[in-house]
Amino acid sequence: MKNIFKLKNLYILIAVLALGYGGYYFGTQNTESSTSNKTLELTTVAIQKGDLAKKEEYNGTLRQTDSKVLNSPMSGVVTYVPKEGTIINFGEVLFAVDNKPVILVEGATPFYRTLDLNSDAGPDVLQLEEALVFLGYAAEDFVPDETFDETTSNMLNALYVDYKIDTKSEVTPAEQVAINLKKTEVENIEETISDGGTTLAQVNDKKKKLDDAKEAATEESAAWKAADTAIENAEQSITLLKDDTNPQTKEKIANNTRDSEIEDLEQEIEKQKRIKDLEKGKESGIDATEALAIETAQKAYDDTLKSYNDGVDQAAELAKAKEELEELKLASKSETFSPTNAYASETPLIVGSYVNDVGSAVALNSPLYNISSIGIEVVFQVDATDQETVSLGDSVEIELPTDERVPTVITFIDQVVTQTQAGEFIEVTLEVLNPEEIEAYDQAPVKVFVITEISENVLYVPVNALLALAEGGYALEVYDGVLDTGTFEGESGVDTNYVAVEIGVFTDGFVEVKGNISEGQIVVVPR
């Protein structure tokens, strides 16, 4: 089933026939009826050449985007909300609770933490500094970054003064007490460390003595050690004898003594291995004297290690105390940004209906009023059989209730077919370009014009230039003279000729024409 709006071309054709008949009638009357001819004021236009786009008209609905509820980031009494329908731009106040204003700033990252000179670097700091630059609180050479420093603090202080937000003026008595207590803690730890301590070198020395005592107590017999050494020496000799580059080896090869020497060394190795097996375990038991030596070395090592660890703990404790002291000092002089001071949005916001008005007591995260971005979109339905006429990214024109036409772009085409009593349709969404330049509407009916065909490099005239011929078809009333003005005061059929034409694409009050005509020729049309 075709969409009802596709009947527009039929309506245009009917109108053309009516106008054409009138034009034909007036153009063919004799001079005796010239009085009647003067009742219709005629003007002239030139035949134009270019691209002509055929457009289908649909009904659409315009609506605002990103609609949601704005919640309060604090509890208290609502002391200010803007009027419904107000557009809140960056730098303006969204609302106030207990006379504490919340400012709208540009940004995609919600503010989620308190920021001051102690804060770690992060994108939220960059977003805050960019907002301060936009609002005019930065010097010309200031470059926003992710670090909250004294420059950030000073800019924030200037903003707070302008918006009547409490500022950081001086160190409070409570902050000074905390600073003094932390200073005393630092001094006490430093005094303890200065009394002396154990070094890591001392710990390592005690550990070596303990290992030596254990090794001495568990050594094998002297015969086992001698056999072990003999095996090691014999293996090294064999290695040398097998090295053909060794001069001594070459000599033994020449004398035919190398192989016998290697055989003797291998037999010696086997002999010493038997000795090791026989002597293994002898005198390896730990006697009372050896046990006492190990115990003494162990205690010395344990005491030294404990002393060293105590010193390390104190050093770490001192470093932590100093860091905390520095944080207290920075916090005492830093302006502080709270997530309750500002609300980040990628676009200005439109105030919708209230949930809580001025005077209402609200808790944390209580709804205040509905909001939407200034973004505008249009939705309309296309007959399912004609879905190939629309594609993502296509430019589409809409007509607002004010009759103003504005450009849009197709951003969404639903792949699910919707069945209604009127037929099967798919829903298409358009994004309105430059929404800030048009009046804000919501749920307003609009006309949608979708280009379905483009005729390139064709001749075209206004639709009302067409004349319906009695024998069928259409013609143009062509004037070959020269006109000083656009008004035609000649006599139709005498000063003009009728040229038969074929018609093509209709669009926006124009129609494609073909025939014995050319670009720039003058045609007569009723005003």
222-241 vs 247-254: helix crossing angle, rounded to 10? 80
Digitized pLDDT (tens) for each residue of the chain, 527 residues in all: 444 333 344 344 444 444 444 444 334 443 344 444 444 578 888 899 998 888 888 999 988 888 899 999 999 999 999 998 898 999 999 999 999 999 999 999 999 999 998 899 999 999 999 999 999 999 999 999 999 998 999 999 999 999 999 887 677 778 788 888 888 888 877 776 666 666 667 778 878 888 888 877 766 667 777 888 899 999 988 888 888 888 888 888 888 888 888 889 899 999 988 887 877 766 556 667 777 778 888 887 887 777 777 666 777 877 888 888 888 887 777 889 999 999 999 989 989 899 999 999 999 999 999 998 887 889 999 988 888 889 888 889 898 888 888 889 998 999 888 888 888 999 999 888 877 777 656 778 999 998 888 888 999 999 999 998 888 899 999 988 777 667 787 777 788 889 999 998 888 889 999 999 999 899 998 75
Q: Do 450 and 396 form a contact (C-beta atoms < 8 A)? A: yes
Cβ atoms within 10 Å of 337's Cβ, excluding its own:
24
Tokens of 123: 């994108």
Q: Which residue has the tokens 């105590």?
A: 310
Tokens of 456: 């390139």
User: What gap in Å lies between CA 361 and CA 341, rounded to an integer?
Assistant: 19
pTM attached to this predicted model = 0.48
How buried is residue 365: exposed, middle or buried, by Cβ count under 10 Å (0-12/13-18/19+)?
exposed
Q: Do 96 and 72 form a contact (C-beta atoms < 8 A)? A: no
Q: What are phi and psi of 236, to 5 degrees?
A: -65, -40
| Residue 126, CA atoms < 13 Å, CB-side half-sphere | 7
Q: Do 308 and 200 form a contact (C-beta atoms < 8 A)? A: yes
